[in-house]
Structure 1
């Protein structure tokens, strides 16, 4: 019964955060103005992810989530609110905060890290890169209505499902479901048409918490490989786009509109909601596939990643070719 009440509380906090920013965002300077890189054409308030932050903090308190998870999550989210949504930190300053929060998490978790096995010392920097990379990738991919909220909902639902399968601690499974509930609440104002954006306060937070939970829940390298794939579309879109931009000698720190989801919305004029739902369905298929092939071993997991990567790349190349023809 207590868990159900907590879920409803997190759901309403997701709603409350979005609703509050819609009402007050313009007054406190929390608005996103459209520019040549945007996928929207009107001014929209941002920072609606503050409700998800409150939900995560409340859930952490009642579920007794370890301080080395919720405290850096709070830090990275508030830093993103101040340095991303309200003001602007430099790339170096942002990365300093991200690495600092990741190091805090890993230092206190170090005794329980299992993904490295005999390569324990190597696993720490790899885990740190995974955390910082996921936090930023999630932020980069939050560019159209609904995509970050839906990805968060599906991703943490998959984490909860897999946590049950591997007999993870019940409080962490419930924690994942609480985050799902807050994402649903936020989506009422962000999907199918956004009245408010998640903002850095929410997108970087979700990416950070997802990556940390993946490490916390993993009992083995195989578990880690499977759970990391629960937001696979964000990884493959960001990485493939980075490769293309590097090939074209573009600066990776400059804003752009070259992700597949951006091309689908901006050049192909596909509705935001359809692209976001499509990414969510693809995400669920990949996640369920990885869980299904687990009994076949690591080679089957890598084969699954390869197949879906090739599928995504083929679709991406076709869309990019058509988008180029439209110019």
Structure 2
């Protein structure tokens, strides 16, 4: 019963965060002004991820979530609010904060690992995974609904797989609480956005997701499966990076070359349809990875390969059609 009340509380915190920014965002200077790289054509309040942050902190308190998860999440979220949504930090400053928070989590986690209660990989690759996921999530938060839907599905998949591998029940409930806060936010972001998550929310979700993937995994196989619960975001971002490197573009400059952006901007597909499509693809990939888990590591790699090829084929078609629309 207490868990159900907490889940509903997190839902209302996600809802309240979005509503408060709609009401007061303009007065406090939290407006996202459209530019030539935007996928929207009017100013919209941003920073609604503050509701998700409060939900995470409240859930952490009641579920006794370890400090080396919630504290760096708080730090990275506040830094993103200040240095991304309100003012601007340089890329180097942002990465310094992101790696600092990731190392805080991993160094404290390493002490737990020494006691034999967690999955282990070298710290540096894991730090790159956390920072990459945090930023990938931020880069992919560009149209109505996509970040909220992906957060909802991703954390529900984590909760489902957590039950399958007998993960800590508190972490499973924690995942459900985050999904509930995403639902609350989506009331004002989907199908037509009245408010955006902002960096305070998108970087936070990516950070928490990647940390929970590491924290809940009992083996490398668990890690590979759970990381795949955000597969559409990873494959879109990485394939777009390849295209931009090929075209000798700077990777630190904002752009509109992700597949979801081309679908919305060049091909004029409705935001809600693209976001829903990404969510369905995410759920299918995640459930497929869970289904093939009993068949071993090669089945997992084969599943990744199959869906990667499918996405690449679709992306080549979309890029060709988008070029024709110009």
What interval of TM-score do these two structures reach, taking the shorter chain for normalisation? over 0.9
What is the CA distance between 1:115 and its match in structure 2? Answer: 4.3
Counterpart mapping for 1:120-269 below 5 A: 120=121, 123-269=122-268
Query: Counterpart in 2 of 1:82?
Result: 82
Tell me the alpha carbon deviations over residues 261-319 of structure 1, each in whole angstroms, 9 at most, x when there is no partner.
00000001000000000000000000000000011110110000000000000000001
CA distance in 1, matches of 2:10, 2:140: 24
What is the CA distance between 1:124 and its match in structure 2? Answer: 1.0
Does residue 282 of structure 1 match 2:284?
no
CA distance in 2, matches of 1:219, 1:45: 40
Tell me the alpha carbon deviations over residues 228-275 of structure 1, each in whole angstroms, 9 at most, x when there is no partner.
000100000000000000000000000000000000000010000000
What is the CA distance between 1:28 and its match in structure 2? Answer: 0.5
Secondary structure, aligned partner of 2:126: helix
Aligned length: 322
Tell me the alpha carbon deviations over residues 149-175 of structure 1, each in whole angstroms, 9 at most, x when there is no partner.
000000000000000000001000000
Q: Which runs of 5 or more residues in structure 1 are unaligned?
A: none
CA distance in 2, matches of 1:42, 1:22: 14
CA distance in 2, matches of 1:195, 1:47: 12
Query: Counterpart in 1 of 2:71?
Result: 71
Query: Counterpart in 2 of 1:24?
Result: 24
Which runs of structure 1 show a deviation greater than 3 angstroms over 4 or more consecutive aligned residues? 111-116
What is the CA distance between 1:326 and its match in structure 2? Answer: 1.2
Counterpart mapping for 1:27-66 below 5 A: 27-66=27-66
CA distance in 1, matches of 2:272, 2:295: 36
Secondary structure, aligned partner of 2:111: coil
Task: Work out whether residues 119 and 215 of structure 2, in 8 Å CA contact, stay in contact via their aligned partners in 1.
Answer: no
Q: Which runs of 5 or more residues in structure 2 are unaligned?
A: none
Q: TM-score, normalising length from structure 1? A: 0.98
Query: Counterpart in 2 of 1:111?
Result: 111
Q: TM-score, normalising length from structure 2? A: 0.98
CA distance in 1, matches of 2:206, 2:159: 16
CA distance in 1, matches of 2:103, 2:160: 28
